[in-house]
Amino acid sequence: MKIYIKKHFYCAGKWIYSGYRAAWEKIGFDAKYYTNIAEINDSDYFLMAVDADIGVDPNNLFVVEKAKKAFIFAGANAFPKPWGMHPNFRCICDNQTIESLNAMDNVYLWSFGDTPKEYVSKWKKINPLPLAFDSVNYKNLKEDSYKFDVCYIGGWANNGFNEKQKIMIEHFAMLKDSGLKCGIFINKDLTQEQENFVLCNSKVALNIHDAYQRILGFDSNERTFKSLGLTGALACDNITQVKNIFPHLELYESPQQMLEMIKEFVSKPSKELEELKSENRQIILKNHTYINRVEQLRSLV
């Protein structure tokens, strides 16, 4: 069986859908990328699409209707202010398109977030599937000694209001004179192997979420899962979804608390730190890989 997956070229989407593709292949599917949904012309294929693909051209509904099973990422139609005012946070499907998709028995809707019903009130049931760790493409590249005490890999991630850059700078300022050996890579376009190496060879990974994620709390970033899956030790801000998925994790509330948490990780005896890392990695590998998410999608059918 084949499944078509949307090709993303930039930012987190590039790694998320690469992880999904690898996971589908791992369980025996022929996973192919598409850039335009109209490229899919075999009614026997599985289909994964985002609502933006469908909303651009009503003719794409015909492609979805022909698919044996269509896993559609459904967007918010009533995202709260101020974010709902920006195109990045709006579903571009019109009401008629949403109604058509809702009526199709072969369509299964999903989202990264535990999306409140009022944000997706026009859609039929949306199944929450958090992001995950790509256990196929990322491997243990640990060397004999750690290269960094703490690492962070990412971009400024302007989702429309450029709120995250200020948050990130406030946190990085705490690390500047901390005496810690920091591997901070912002907009450096590291290769997957370089990212893999840095995460594996750091004592603790830092995670910082966007303003809307901190306030609304229903979704978390891929870095959460990647850091736990590779580094094994994570200093993460207090996000409701993270707290619900990983109740054993201590989460920080402020830049100062972040620094204290990182120093606590770094000062742990080697044996204790390695045991903690191993435990977190096993939790990820058992429950939170993209293979797990694919199986969750398939269970909807």
Round the CA-based radius of gyration of the chain to a whole number and report it. Answer: 20
Give the position of tokens 């535990």: 114
pLDDT value at position 52?
74
d(CA 116, CA 159): 20
- 222: three-class secondary structure by DSSP: helix
Instruction: Return the percentage of the chain with pLDDT > 90, whole number.
Output: 82
Instruction: Return the percentage of the chain with pLDDT > 70, whole number.
Output: 100
| Other Cβ atoms closer than 10 A to 73 | 17
> HSE (CB half, 13 Å, CA atoms) of 252?
21
What value does the mean pLDDT take over residues 167-172?
A: 98
* pLDDT, tens digit (0-9, with 9 covering 90-100), for 134-167: 999 999 999 999 999 999 999 999 988 999 999 9
pLDDT value at position 55?
77
**Confidence band, pLDDT 50/70/90 cuts, at residue 100:** very high
In sequence order, the β-bridge partners of residue 182 are: 150
pLDDT value at position 51?
79
pLDDT value at position 195?
97
Q: Which residues, including other chains, have CB under 8 Å from residue 165's CB and lie 6 or more apart?
A: 156, 158
Residue type, 109: L
- 39 versus 184: the higher-pLDDT residue is 184
**Confidence band, pLDDT 50/70/90 cuts, at residue 14:** very high
**Confidence band, pLDDT 50/70/90 cuts, at residue 11:** confident
d(CA 208, CA 186): 12
- 175: three-class secondary structure by DSSP: helix
* pLDDT, tens digit (0-9, with 9 covering 90-100), for 104-137: 999 999 999 998 999 999 999 999 999 999 999 9
* 279-293 b/e (C-beta count within 10 Å ≥ 16 → b): ebbebbeeebbbbbb
* pLDDT, tens digit (0-9, with 9 covering 90-100), for 35-82: 988 888 788 898 888 877 887 777 789 889 989 999 999 989 999 999
* pLDDT, tens digit (0-9, with 9 covering 90-100), for 245-256: 999 999 999 999
Comparing 34-43, 62-71, 227-236, 273-282, the range with the smallest average pLDDT is 34-43
Mean pLDDT of the chain: 94
* pLDDT, tens digit (0-9, with 9 covering 90-100), for 200-216: 999 999 999 999 999 99
- Residue 283 pLDDT more than 90? yes
pLDDT value at position 301?
93
pLDDT value at position 15?
94
DSSP 16: H
Please answer whether residues 200 and 142 qualify as being in contact, where contact means their C-beta atoms are separated by less than 8 angstroms.
yes
User: Quick one: CA torsion of 124, 129, 130, 135, rounded to 10 degrees?
Assistant: -150
Please answer whether residues 236 and 242 qualify as being in contact, where contact means their C-beta atoms are separated by less than 8 angstroms.
yes
